[in-house]
Amino acid sequence: MTGMLPYGRQSINEDDIAAVADVLRGDWLTTGPQVDAFEADLARWTGGVGVAAVSNGTAALHVAYAAAGVGPGDEVVVPPMTFVATASSAAALGAKIVFADVEDETFCLDPAAAAAAVTSRTTVVAAVDYAGHPADYDALRTSVKGSDALLLADAAHSIGGTYRGRPVGSLADLTTFSFFPTKNLTTAEGGAVAALDPQVLKRARRFRGVGVVRERDDLRFPDEGGWHQEVHEFGLNYRLPDVLCALGRSQLRRLGEFTARRSALVARYDEALADLGGVLLPTRKPWADPAWHLYPIRVLDGRRREVYDRMRAAGIGVQVNYIPVHWHPAFADLGYRRGSCPVAESFYSQQLSLPLYPGLSDADQDRVIDALTAAVRVGSVRTAA
């Protein structure tokens, strides 16, 4: 057996290394000119929507919820098929999390379930672009119509994707991105918040900068001196440094290439696995052009654990994405119960992510396909016998 194939991996080239080295030789390591430049580059992928770079994807969610005014007594609607941070970052601000189930094809937030969950206390409805497939944002807009709730897109998986021809980052009031190494581009650790409303973006930038106010027109005591700064509302240090923004700018130049390669790998999986019994393949809505962060299959007949173990033993780093958020003990201890989101829970019991990243070669992908085929068929033969 050759080495373990990861389910996701960064793609770093000499241009990325050179971009980082140039910053290390300069005067700025923390907040400097590369931050503004990275935010401007990101805005070209969001259809011109303004962006604030932050230290990681969880920070992006925390900043976005804070900019939306989430606080104690508010409710935030979240789908359970996501990483826990989509919910926990709002809970950290004092919000009550209301879980709403997902659709049974894309496993993104179900607009009907979201509409049923919205109350007069709902501040944010957070959709998640699961696996890189955009949620149905037009339908979700209808779900929040008549309320004061803002719509948030957790686009940790989907930068570079489009919905009805419109780019991810322009579809919701707030959009959050993650640039963790396994994501569609990386800054090592990093994230960003996009906001349609310039005032919301301004609040996001202040919150990620410890709440510090420096603009003279906004100061309460503007004549104290050139050193003067004020904090009007508390924030946290969620800044993304120049050295990582330089890496992000270099990565963005290849985002189109990364997205195309992911799509090509998805097409190869689709063709090779189309006739494999015992599994279901991911679907795509006609109005979506996904960024394909994950390739999530469903293993049927209660065999997900068996197939997972066989694939791992064969050196294939399959993963499960995700444990339903309300199943985590932190939420169970607050009274959330299993069975409340049956579509997400059923999907979790079957879900398995196959390796998918731009550097995955055709030969290594064939190795994944062969291992999956063997794992599924061996169990099927044993069951039939």
Instruction: Give the residue numbers annotated as catalytic, written as ranges.
Output: 183
Do 127 and 153 meet the contact criterion of CB atoms below 8 Å apart?
Answer: yes
CA nearest to 69, candidates 137, 122, 118: 122
CA 134 vs. chain centroid, Å, equals 11
HSE of 215, CA atoms in CB hemisphere, 13 A: 8
| Element of type H or E holding 41 | helix 33-43
| Element of type H or E holding 7 | none
Read out DSSP for 320-336?
-----GGGSHHHHTTT-
The set of residues, in sequence order, having a beta carbon less than 8 Å from that of 165 and lying 6+ positions away, is none
Q: At what angle do helices 255-273 and 362-384 cross, to 10 degrees?
A: 30
Q: State how far the Cα of 101 lies from the Cα of 111, in Å rounded to an integer.
A: 9
Q: State how far the Cα of 268 lies from the Cα of 350, in Å rounded to an integer.
A: 22
CA distances from 313 to 1, 286, 378 (A): 9, 37, 14
Tokens, residue 256: 């189109």
Q: State how far the Cα of 292 lies from the Cα of 357, in Å rounded to an integer.
A: 9
Q: State how far the Cα of 173 lies from the Cα of 214, in Å rounded to an integer.
A: 26
- What single-letter amino acid sits at 143? S
